């Protein structure tokens, strides 16, 4: 099948329960939760008749740099030390605290074009978190391809320039920020109180490679 999706890579080592009880991330009971990569693509799923396994093939083309902010104009930053993602309204002179994302264009063999959105940083870290917020770690393309289903989020337009990201595996769950300041980026259900699920993507400059 072919499907337009957005992929948010969350390296989840263990999930004990399905997200059915609370409107926040707590029911997931996750360990090693990581915010990594977002992909916008037309996905072609190829099934192996013998094993039943599916795979997606793509090659890298070019990339550009961008930032993300929610519809309340809070920017996404990465907290020092624990590298967790938070949404904060930045005042003048603090724009350098924004997380710079790298939007990488891929050509998916036989299935159109792919865009991978990763955090742009010279050093990558593997994170073990005890909370239900999102942080980031290094991830290879093989890691993504080998366990693609749990990384897929459908990209949905919610207005002229706003975008939301819904989990493909767990429908009704979205990437979100809090209406309050200095709170972590989390997953929530669309009708959750005091959560923002729409984002603006601002391109900064093209990159080579």
Give pLDDT tens digits for 109-165.
544 444 444 555 443 332 222 334 555 555 566 665 665 555 556 667 777 778 787
Q: What mean pLDDT is predicted for residues 160-183?
A: 81
Whether the per-residue pLDDT at 197 is higher than 80: the answer is yes
Among 156, 187, 65, CA closest to 117: 65
In terms of phi and psi (left: phi > 0; alpha: psi -120 to 50; beta: otherwise), the region of 31 is beta
Burial of 97 per CB tally in 10 Å (0-12, 13-18, 19+)? middle
Instruction: Return the CATH number of 2-207, one of 2.40.30.10, 2.40.260.10, 2.80.10.50, 2.40.160.40.
Output: 2.80.10.50
Q: How does DSSP assign 111-140, residue by residue?
A: TEEEEEEEE--SS------SSSS-B-----
Cα–Cα separations (whole angstroms), residue 195 to 42, 70, 87, 140: 29, 10, 11, 31
Tens of pLDDT, residues 73-119: 999 887 776 667 889 998 877 777 887 776 555 555 544 444 444 55
Residue 178 pLDDT level (bands cut at 50, 70, 90): very high
Residue that has been written with the tokens 């989390």 in this structure: 186
d(Cα 193, Cα 24) in Å, to the nearest integer? 10
What is the pLDDT at residue 20? 45
Burial class of 124 by CB neighbour count within 10 A (0 to 12, 13 to 18, 19+): middle
pTM (two decimals): 0.59
């Amino acid at each position: 099948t072919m499907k337009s999706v957005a992929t948010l890579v969350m390296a989840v080592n263990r999930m004990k329960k399905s997200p059915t009880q609370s409107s926040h991330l707590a029911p997931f009971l996750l360990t090693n939760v990581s915010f990594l990569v977002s992909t916008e693509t037309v996905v072609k799923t190829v099934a192996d008749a013998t094993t039943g396994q599916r795979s997606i093939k793509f090659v890298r083309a070019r990339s550009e740099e961008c930032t993300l902010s929610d519809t309340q104009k809070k920017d996404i930053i990465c907290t020092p030390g624990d590298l967790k993602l938070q949404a904060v309204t930045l005042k003048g002179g603090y724009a350098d605290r924004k997380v710079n994302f790298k939007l990488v264009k891929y050509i998916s063999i036989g299935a159109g074009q792919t865009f991978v959105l990763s955090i742009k940083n010279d050093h990558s870290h593997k994170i073990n978190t005890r909370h239900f917020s999102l942080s980031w770690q290094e991830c290879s393309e093989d890691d993504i391809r080998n366990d693609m289903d749990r990384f897929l989020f459908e990209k949905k337009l919610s207005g002229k320039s706003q975008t939301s990201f819904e989990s493909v595996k767990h429908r009704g769950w979205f990437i979100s920020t809090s209406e309050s300041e200095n709170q972590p980026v989390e997953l929530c259900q669309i009708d959750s109180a005091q959560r923002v699920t729409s984002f603006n993507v601002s391109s900064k400059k093209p990159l080579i490679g």
